[in-house]
Amino acid sequence: MAHGIAGTKDSGLEPFAERLSDAGVDVLAFDYRGFGASKGQPRQTVSVVGQLDDYRAAVAAAQRLPDVDANKVILWGVSFSGGHVLRVAADRDDIAAVIALTPLTSGLATGRLAVAQRDLISGMRWTAAGVKGRIAAAMGGSPTLMPVVGKPGEAGALTLPGAYENYLAMAGPTWRNEIDAGVGLQLARVRSSSAARRLRCPLLVQIADFDRFVPAGSVAKVAERGRAQVHHYPCDHFDVWPGHDWFDKVVDHQVAFIGRAVKKSSAAAGQN
């Protein structure tokens, strides 16, 4: 289980983990390199390639734990990591199921949505700062940081109404409202369509139909390519989180899906 962009495992994941644990599922939640409790330099810097490697390492660590069936591992991702889990699971036979909650599946589609919602000049300014910061970091310097979330009109990667309040409501002690200004450059690396086609395990995709941060239409297309079980919720991106109206329904669907997926995995193992 891993968080979305710049999120940390102590920021809203525990209620999901507790509900899954109550249903008999062991949960391993982790932070990506450079964030929260994880090591790694530079801090607060997103690398899609690095995060995919981190997720694979977390899977391997989970498979080595005592009393864990290495062929019944389920990948759980939300928002940014919701796209990662598709790519990590693709072409593997040892993943029992994948859950993608309001996933960011297309960097291009998400980038278009972001551009349409914000001041173009400010976006270009932060992109230039991000490029400069990435070059500096590559030469041993520090990246340029900006807020993860801000109120409308303020600086930040996410500044739509409600983003600041929702992020801070779930923020844990290790979360920092800072992110590498070059994060937008990483969006181009998010491409999940091909991975979805290559999945060999059951897939659950949970879509917020009125999502202002991740375009629901692009998520639906990827879900179709992955032959996913799909649930739609008439809500926005953050409305599926603990403390919001759709949290219970979202987790109920996850628990039911896991029960079916594990049963299917056990039946397939028995046939082999």
Tell me the whole-structure pTM to 2 decimals.
0.90
Write the single-letter amino acid at 222.
Answer: V
Residue 4 has pLDDT above 90, yes or no: yes
- In this structure, the dihedral spanned by the alpha carbons of residues 108, 109, 113 and 116, taken in order and rounded to 10 degrees, is 60
pLDDT at 121: 55
Q: How far apart are CA 224 and CA 40, in angstroms?
A: 36
Mean pLDDT over 235-262 rounds to 96
Residue 267 reports pLDDT greater than 70: no
* Alpha helix stretches (DSSP H) within the chain: 13-22, 48-63, 80-89, 107-117, 120-138, 163-170, 183-186, 193-197, 216-225, 247-271
Predicted confidence band of residue 189 (pLDDT cuts 50, 70, 90): confident
Q: Which CATH superfamily is 13-264 part of?
A: Alpha/Beta hydrolase fold, catalytic domain (3.40.50.1820)
Q: How confident is the model at residue 111 (pLDDT cuts 50, 70, 90)?
A: low
49-70 per-position pLDDT tens digit: 999 999 999 999 999 999 999 9
Q: Residue 120: pLDDT above 60?
A: no
Burial of 116 (0-12, 13-18, 19+ CB in 10 A): exposed
Range in 80-84, 119-123, 198-202 with the lowest mean pLDDT: 119-123
Taking alpha carbons only, the member of 199, 3, 252 closest to residue 103 is 3
- Return d(Cα 257, Cα 63) in angstroms, integer: 21
Q: Is the preceding omega at residue 66 within 30 degrees of 0, hence cis?
A: no
pLDDT at 265: 66
Q: For the chain, what are the domain ranges? A: 13-264
- Predicted pLDDT at 152: 87
Q: Provide the pLDDT for residue 129.
A: 60
Average pLDDT, the chain: 89
When mean pLDDT is compared across 117-121, 188-192, 225-229, 244-248, the lowest value belongs to 117-121
